[in-house]
Amino acid sequence: MYSAKITRITPTAFIFLIDQSGSMEEKMTFGQTTMTKADAVAMVTNMLIRELVNRCRREEGTLDYFDIAAIGYSNDEATMLLGTSEAFAKPSELSMRPCRKRIFTRERMLPDGTAALANDEVKYWIEPKSEGNTPMCAALEQALLLAGRWCRRPANVASYPPTIFNITDGEASDGDYERLTGLAEQIRALGTEDGNVLLININLATGTHGGTVVFPSSPNELPVSRYTRLLYDMSSVMPEEYTEAVLRVRGEENGTRGSFRGMSYNTSIADLVSMLNVGSRSINKML
C-alpha cells in the first residue's frame, strides 16, 4: 500500500482546502516577518505548488505527473482557486500561466553552517483572501466530488491515491460534528488499488499561548476541546512509510512508532511547512 510509482501514466493528485474566512486576517510571525494568516497560507501553498511544478520539469518540457486543485472557502461558498475549466490543473499549464510574483527575504543555512539572507521569488497562483464565514462542509463536499471522480477514472485505478490538505483556523459555520466527521469519513473511504485518500487537517495558530501538537498518536496529546477532537477524528491515520518523517517533525527520531493522525493543532508557519512537506512525500516516488 502507498507504494505506487508516480508517472505520466499513473499520476497522483493534490487537493488544497484553504480557509479564507475573516479570521484569517489575524497576524502570524514567520522568522522576523509578521503577516496575516491568509498571506502565510497563500505563500506556503504557492511554494509547494512551485515545488510540484518544478519536480515535473524535464529536458523535453514540463510533464504532468500531478493533478492539482485548490478550493477556497469563505462567506457561504467554496470556490475553485486555480481558475481552470477543469477541476484539476496540470503542471504543464501552471508553469506557463502568467501570475504576479512576490519576493520574500528568507534566512538560509549555508553548507558551512552559517546563516545568510536570500531573496526567494514566489509565483502566486493562489491569492490571499480573508472574508466572512467558514463554510468548511462546502469545501469538504467539493473535495469529496473531486477525489471521487479522480479515483473512479480507469486511468487512475493503480495510482498513488490523492492527498487532501485542509488548512483552517476556525470552526465550520455550516455544519456540526456529525456532518463534518461524516464527510471526512466518506473522503477517507475513497481510494485506488494503492491505498485510501489521505486527509490532513492543519489548524493554524490562533494565539501566542499554548504549544503545537503535530501528528498526534492519541487524542490525549491534544487540549480538551471539542474542536481539536473533531479535527483528530476527521483526519487520516498516516501510512507506515511516513513514520520516520513524522517522528522527525515531532522531534522524536528515536521515538516510539505508532499510529499517527494527519493533523496538527496550534500550527505555526514553520510547522505548516513541515506538515505540507510530510504530506507530499509521495513526490519522491516519481520515476
pLDDT tens figures, 2-43: 999 999 999 999 999 999 999 999 998 876 678 999 999 999
Q: Which of 249, 252, 251, 250 is nearest to 281 (CA)?
A: 249
pLDDT at 84: 79
pLDDT at 150 over 80: yes
Q: Is 29 exposed, middle or buried (0-12, 13-18, 19+ CB in 10 A)?
A: middle
The pLDDT > 70 percentage for the chain reads 96
Task: State the Cα–Cα distance between residues 189 and 180, nearest whole angstrom.
Answer: 14
pLDDT at 85: 78
pLDDT at 118: 75
β-strand pairing of 163-168 with 12-19 = parallel
β-strand pairing of 198-204 with 163-168 = parallel
Most confidently predicted of 37-46, 83-92, 200-209, 251-260: 37-46
- The residue-averaged pLDDT of 246-252 equals 94
pLDDT at 210: 64
pLDDT at 207 over 70: no
Helix (H) or strand (E) holding 77: strand 77-80
Q: What is the pLDDT of residues 84-94, one digit of tens each?
A: 777 899 999 99
More confident position, 25 or 114: 25
Q: What is the pLDDT of residues 211-238, one digit of tens each?
A: 899 999 999 999 988 899 999 999 999 9
pLDDT at 255: 79
pTM: 0.94
Residue 50's identity, in one-letter code, is R
pLDDT at 279: 96
pLDDT at 75: 96
Q: Quick one: pLDDT band at residue 119, thresholds 50, 70, 90? A: confident
pLDDT at 189: 98
Phi and psi for 133 in degrees, rounded to 5? -80, -170
pLDDT at 31: 64
Phi and psi for 194 in degrees, rounded to 5? -90, -10
Residue 104's identity, in one-letter code, is F
